[in-house]
Amino acid sequence: MTNPAVLQSKAITSPADAQGATMAAGVSAVLGTYRPAAPLFTRAQGCRVFDSDGNAYLDFASGIGVNALGYGDPGIVAALQAQLDTGLVHLSNLYRTAPGELLARELVAHSFADRVFFCNSGAEANEAAFKFARRFARGLGGAAKHEIVALRGAFHGRLFGALAATDRPALQQPFEPLMPGVRFIEPGDVAGARAAISRARTAAIIVEPVQGEGGVKPLPPAFLRALREIADDADALLIFDEVQCGLGRTGRLFAYEASGVTPDILTLAKPLAGGLPMGATLVVERVAAAVQPGDHATTFGGGPLVAAVALHVFGRLADPEFLAGVRESGAHLERQLDGLCALSSVSEVRGSGLMWGMELKVAAGPVAGAALEAGLLVTAAGEKVLRLLPPLVIGPNEIDEGVAILHEVLS
Ligand SMILES: Cc1ncc(COP(=O)(O)O)c(C=O)c1O
């Protein structure tokens, strides 16, 4: 046995002792697919998290765009408690429960979509989108009409289908062969899109209206409009992946609203259930009509506990006053960030709402590390982009405090 976490726990008599000693030593039995920062976080409130030594950190990361309502939101706690009190945490999709049906109704009422499939993550939502698109396309053009067109710089997740549409050779190559039938085009390249998309072969085009992991890059509305037209000409579906940029993050309920272009399929996840795992794939009726019982499924998807919490979260995020608040806070953050553009380490600041990227002239990872030491959680998106995704409930003083820390670490 070579795992130090396990070796160490052998000398300890109670499980609590073992846990404490293992954590104190900074040794973990969790598989090393992550390289977490050193502090051990033990509680959180509002827009702040606290480590085991009682140090407070202001959060400009929101658990990578998840904690839109911050930490300890009383409505989330109440929704959780009320559902727990019913005893129905899970029942399976073999039986009907109310929270998922109510949530689907709300998502449909506030969007272009007619039906919703629930799952447990962003990658799963995209996998479902690909399956529904292929199911639909098969009815139009047989098995040949199966290709997915994605964008350079895209990130759609790490399961085999989603990974195939993710433009990260370093993440893909160790696991090849991936799902075949994916072509990449450059963002903004309308001629390239026309050349890659065909009536005979293309099932769907997938894009993030604002590329998140690719460095917080909004796609030009004119390009989205062109893709809509090209998709229609080729009888291909347009999929928007709003796992990161959707649900209020850009100051609108859905990022696509800024372009006036509606997709045929939309994927959501991160903030949907307030930190509980949930994804959703929204589709128009003609796609829904092609999908048959048994075509796709997931044991946990849309279970009553996560759906009850999501119903509360979505109600908050869809409130026009809440969204106006996000735009106001976003405008404040933008003004403060503009002040940082004078620093020699910063080359550009871009974004909208509370989704911002700072293009640096230096590597972003060490800057995020220095910010953590100075009491600010912030993440990198790509090599030189520092990404700011504060909780959507952040106030102006907290924004100023976070930007002051950024100023200090970037100077
Ligand atoms: C746009 C986008 N799509 C999909 C995913 C994958 O989501 P998950 O990590 O929940 O599988 C992410 C995650 O960062 C994302 O940003």
324 vs 326: CA distance, rounded Å: 5
| Distance in Å, CA 380 to ligand 1 centroid | 15
Residue pair 48/57 in contact (Cβ under 8 Å)? The answer is yes
The owner of tokens 């990974």 is: 163
Give, using CA atoms, the residue closest to atom 16 of ligand 1: 244
Give, using CA atoms, the residue closest to atom 7 of ligand 1: 122
Q: Three-state DSSP class for 149?
A: strand
The token pair that represents 237 in the structure block:
């579906």
Evaluated on CA atoms 86, 90, 96, 97, the torsion sign reads positive
| Distance in Å, CA 243 to ligand 1 centroid | 6
| Distance in Å, CA 54 to ligand 1 centroid | 31
196 vs 185: CA distance, rounded Å: 7
What are the C-alpha distances in Å from 341 to residues 87, 334, 371, 405? 53, 11, 17, 15
**Pick from 265, 194, 204, 181: nearest CA to 226:** 194
276 vs 87: CA distance, rounded Å: 17
Amino acid at position 358, single letter: M
Evaluated on CA atoms 214, 218, 224, 226, the torsion sign reads negative
The token pair that represents 117 in the structure block:
């499939």
| Distance in Å, CA 244 to ligand 1 centroid | 7
Which element (helix H / strand E) includes 404? helix 396-410
- pLDDT by position in tens, the chain (length 411): 455 444 444 444 554 554 555 565 557 899 999 999 999 999 999 999 999 999 999 999 999 999 999 999 999 999 999 999 999 999 999 999 999 999 999 999 999 999 999 999 999 999 999 999 999 999 999 999 999 999 999 999 999 999 999 999 999 999 999 999 999 999 999 999 999 999 999 999 999 999 999 999 999 999 999 999 999 999 999 999 999 999 999 999 999 999 999 999 999 999 999 999 999 999 999 999 999 999 999 999 999 999 999 999 999 999 999 999 999 999 999 999 999 999 999 999 999 999 999 999 999 999 999 999 999 999 999 999 999 999 999 999 999 999 999 999 999
| Distance in Å, CA 194 to ligand 1 centroid | 27
Q: Tell me the angle at which helices 320-340 and 396-410 cross, rounded to the nearest 10 degrees.
A: 30
pLDDT in the model for residue 247: 98
Maximum distance among all alpha carbons in the chain? 68
| Distance in Å, CA 391 to ligand 1 centroid | 17
pLDDT in the model for residue 9: 44
Which element (helix H / strand E) includes 83? helix 74-86
What are the backbone angles phi and psi of residue 121, rounded to the nearest 5°? -165, 175
Evaluated on CA atoms 282, 286, 289, 294, the torsion sign reads negative
Taking the alpha carbons at both ends of the chain, their separation in whole angstroms is 47
User: Which atom of ligand 1 lies at the shortest distance from residue 123's CA?
Assistant: 11
| Distance in Å, CA 19 to ligand 1 centroid | 31
Number of residues that make up the chain: 411
Pocket test for ligand 1, best of 155, 166, 355 (most atoms within 8 A of CB): 155
User: Which atom of ligand 1 lies at the shortest distance from residue 126's CA?
Assistant: 4
328 vs 346: CA distance, rounded Å: 24
Q: Is 221 exposed, middle or buried (0-12, 13-18, 19+ CB in 10 A)?
A: middle
pTM: 0.95
**Pick from 156, 57, 56: nearest CA to 390:** 57
Ligand 1 is surrounded, with C-beta below 6 A, by 64, 121-123, 126, 155-157, 208, 212-213, 241, 243-244, 269
What are the backbone angles phi and psi of residue 181, rounded to the nearest 5°? 90, 25
User: Which atom of ligand 1 lies at the shortest distance from residue 270's CA?
Assistant: 10
| Distance in Å, CA 275 to ligand 1 centroid | 14
Pocket test for ligand 1, best of 119, 171, 206, 244 (most atoms within 8 A of CB): 244
Give, using CA atoms, the residue closest to atom 9 of ligand 1: 122
40: CB partners within 8 A, 6+ apart:
23, 51, 52
Pocket test for ligand 1, best of 156, 385, 389 (most atoms within 8 A of CB): 156
User: Which atom of ligand 1 lies at the shortest distance from residue 242's CA?
Assistant: 1
| Distance in Å, CA 248 to ligand 1 centroid | 16
| Distance in Å, CA 5 to ligand 1 centroid | 30
pLDDT in the model for residue 28: 85
What are the C-alpha distances in Å from 173 to residues 87, 100, 176, 334, 338? 45, 38, 5, 38, 39
Give, using CA atoms, the residue closest to atom 4 of ligand 1: 156
Strands 147-151 and 182-185: parallel
